[in-house]
Structure 1
Amino acid sequence: MKFNFFSLDQDFAINETIVFNDDYFKKYNIATSAQISNQLYNKISPLAATAVILGQLLDRFEIPVGLFHTGQNINAFNFIYPNIKLDLLFSISRSTIKHNTKFVTFDFQLMQDQQLLISGNTKVTAKLED
């Protein structure tokens, strides 16, 4: 089920389990400089994990035409390792309408056994549909 972007409010929250499997790590190693030095890594950077996290979030919405990404903050506390169950939490800390435009701030946290690995927020905006 996909959510309508324009109906989002601050009561929205998602909690799900995510696993970065071996296949993801193989693709990550191919796509990074690890291949240049012929080293394979058993961990991925928090920034790469954040791209996956935001993809998970955006897959849940009917994205309106003209959606703008207006900012992002990321706090990383550790690397991500393969085949470990992680808790992914999303919530909305801001959902306002100004001048016929919807502004939404999504907060996210990635945790392993109650330990925070990544936290941050991403901000998006779109004109209200006529």
Structure 2
Amino acid sequence: MGQRKIRVLLAKPGLDGHDRGAKFISRALRDAGMEVIYTGLHQKIPNIVATAMDEDVDVVGLSILSGSHLALTKKYINLSKEKGLDDQLLLVGGTIPGVDVRKLKDMGADAVFGVETNIDVIVDFINN
């Protein structure tokens, strides 16, 4: 039996109403051989954590364009730790000012990808 595909949860937390990029990323990750669960728009952090647990994912990607990336990421990290989810790769992407990249990584994000990031960079990061 073959090796299990990498399972990725891609979520749009908060009030951000634009998901064109998230849908593009979802398709690209599927094309790269990963299994992707996309939650859709306006997700609450407790729902994202519950889905990550239920789906037994390897990677959680938070796509945030609304400017609330610091607060939403902190809330996700705190709740996921509380629920015992500490072995998943956490990626944060979207409209992220350069000054906030270090803050997100210091919080616990494994990688931060801006809106212009080449998909191959994301795929390589997840695969390695």
Range into which the TM-score falls when normalised by the shorter chain: under 0.3
Flag the structure with larger Rg: 1
TM-score of the aligned structures, taking structure 1 as reference length:
0.26
Instruction: Give the TM-score, by structure 2 length.
Output: 0.26
Higher strand proportion (structure 1 or 2): 1
